[in-house]
Amino acid sequence: MNTQFDVKENVKQYYGEELQNTQDLKTSACCTVESLPQYVKEILPLIHDEIQSKYYGCGTTFPADLDGLKILDIGCGTGRDSYIMSKLAGNNGFVYGIDMTEGQINVANEYVEYQAKKLGYEKPNTNFIHDDMENIDKHFEIESLDLVTSNCVINLAENKAKIIQKIYDLLKFGGVFYFSDIYADRRLPENVRQNHILYGECLGGALYQKDFIRIARKSGFADPRIVSHREIEITEPEIKELVGNAKFYSTTYRLWKIDGIEDACEDYGHSATYLGGHPENESRLQLDSEHLFEKNRPKRICGNTALMLSKTRLLKYFQLSGNFNEHFGLFEDCGTAVFRNSSNPISSTDCGC
Ligand SMILES: C[S@@+](CC[C@H](N)C(=O)[O-])C[C@H]1O[C@@H](n2cnc3c(N)ncnc32)[C@H](O)[C@@H]1O
């Protein structure tokens, strides 16, 4: 990018001055249309209206079963997701949020005590940091976080590879980067990448999805798993004209930090049975868009999935069989699908915000 377009100043101006609330968004990119899980719907009324009115997320970025976890929400904005996770993390968990836009993080900070009371805590289990996400390694120790989340933020980063590498380094082994973001079906031309509104609306900075996979793998997240994704329908004529034929997607990924994960799904003859008991998912557990486990029903899985179930906190919910002694070739059709189902576009008219 040339020096004329200052990414950070652009973002700060957009989120700190131009947007007052979700109604000011010019596209449907920074909105969440998927319905929230019931356990989140129950928490939402406890979150202050001002926090919710400035929510600009594009997905659902929290897995269930957060009890006791140390969590970082990158680009937390006014803290809607951070506060929801603080309820799910319980007394023994803790949620940090970081955001560089003063107007956003100030709102998050203003409600720390209020939200703690509302969510049933004697003392807050949240802390909001006003800083650039590029500095996360100054605030946290290497391998100290259980979960890193982020909702529609990485596309705004100036150096996406650098931030993803830092996230990998800060996670514990067995930890996970679970996040939603906007991706494009191609590398975007400079006039789109440097357009003030498109960048602020999370379109201009969107990574070509294959480039994201490359970056994730290089950082150590060898087998990025899609949890959900939707095409964003661009209806605004001016924006349509600017982006041309490019298509955009809102995708939620689950990226595990686990030693030994391979860049392809290999068959070693493993199988897994979900035993039930996972909070909010008693009868079935969805690991990612390709892996739905029904309670008590054994399922053949690849070596990578076996590691995701055995080297993480999911282990207590599964009975696993198999080892890595014998290799039976490639495991077909497993988890690496990219935009397989894009028949469900998000349109501006659907948009909840
Ligand atoms: C689309 S909004 C999403 C906010 C929040 N996650 C939510 O769901 O409401 C993007 C947020 O990322 C923050 N952000 C963008 N670039 C950042 C950076 N380099 N460091 C810290 N925060 C950043 C912006 O200030 C803004 O609050």
CA distance 34 to 260: 33
Q: In testing the pocket of ligand 1, which one of 31, 101, 159 has its CB within 8 Å of the most ligand atoms? A: 101
Number of H helices, E strands in the chain: 13, 13
Strands (E), 113-169: 126-130, 145-151
Query: Do 181 and 286 belong together in one domain?
Result: no
> Any residues with Cβ below 6 Å from ligand 1, and which?
8, 11, 15, 30, 55-57, 75-77, 80-81, 98-101, 104, 132-133, 151-153, 156-157, 202
Among 207, 225, 256, where does a domain finish? 256
pLDDT tens digits, residue range 218-251? Answer: 999 999 999 999 999 888 888 999 999 999 999 9
Query: Do 41 and 122 belong together in one domain?
Result: yes
pLDDT tens digits, residue range 155-177? Answer: 999 999 999 999 999 999 999 99
Query: Do 274 and 210 belong together in one domain?
Result: no
Distance 77 CA to ligand 1 centre (A): 5
Which helix (H) or strand (E) element contains residue 107? helix 102-110
Query: Do 251 and 275 belong together in one domain?
Result: no
- Domain membership of residue 347 (yes or no) is no
Query: Do 132 and 281 belong together in one domain?
Result: no
- Domain membership of residue 148 (yes or no) is yes
- Domain membership of residue 265 (yes or no) is no
- Domain membership of residue 312 (yes or no) is yes
What proportion of the chain, given as a percentage, has pLDDT over 70?
Answer: 91
Nearest ligand 1 atom to alpha carbon 202: 1
- Domain membership of residue 338 (yes or no) is no
Query: Do 88 and 234 belong together in one domain?
Result: yes
pLDDT tens digits, residue range 69-114? Answer: 999 999 999 999 999 999 999 999 999 999 999 999 999 999 999 9
Tell me what the pLDDT averaged over the chain comes to. Answer: 90
| Domain limits for position 279 | 270-321
Distance 315 CA to ligand 1 centre (A): 33
Query: Do 39 and 80 belong together in one domain?
Result: yes
Strands (E), the chain: 70-74, 94-99, 126-130, 145-151, 171-184, 207-208, 225-232, 248-256, 270-274, 284-288, 291-294, 299-301, 318-321
Query: Do 227 and 104 belong together in one domain?
Result: yes
- Domain membership of residue 190 (yes or no) is yes
CA distance 149 to 139: 16
Among 256, 279, 307, where does a domain finish? 256
CA distances from 319 to 187, 219, 267, 295 (A): 43, 30, 18, 11
- Domain membership of residue 328 (yes or no) is no
Distance 200 CA to ligand 1 centre (A): 10
CA distance 84 to 62: 9
Give, using CA atoms, the residue closest to atom 14 of ligand 1: 75
- Domain membership of residue 342 (yes or no) is no
CATH of the domain at 102: 3.40.50.150
Give, using CA atoms, the residue closest to atom 12 of ligand 1: 75
pLDDT, residue 334, reads: 66
pLDDT, residue 351, reads: 31
Number of domains in the chain: 2
- Give the residue ranges of the chain where pLDDT is below 50: 1-3, 335, 337, 339-353
* 8 Å CB contact between 65 and 278: yes
Which helix (H) or strand (E) element contains residue 109? helix 102-110
pLDDT, residue 1, reads: 45
CA distance 167 to 257: 10
Give, using CA atoms, the residue closest to atom 25 of ligand 1: 101
Among 256, 283, 302, where does a domain finish? 256
Query: Do 218 and 315 belong together in one domain?
Result: no
pLDDT, residue 33, reads: 66
Distance 254 CA to ligand 1 centre (A): 19
Query: Do 149 and 250 belong together in one domain?
Result: yes
CATH of the domain at 276: 3.40.5.100
Distance 119 CA to ligand 1 centre (A): 24
Nearest ligand 1 atom to alpha carbon 30: 1
Query: Do 161 and 301 belong together in one domain?
Result: no
Give, using CA atoms, the residue closest to atom 8 of ligand 1: 57
Query: Do 231 and 279 belong together in one domain?
Result: no
* 8 Å CB contact between 87 and 108: no
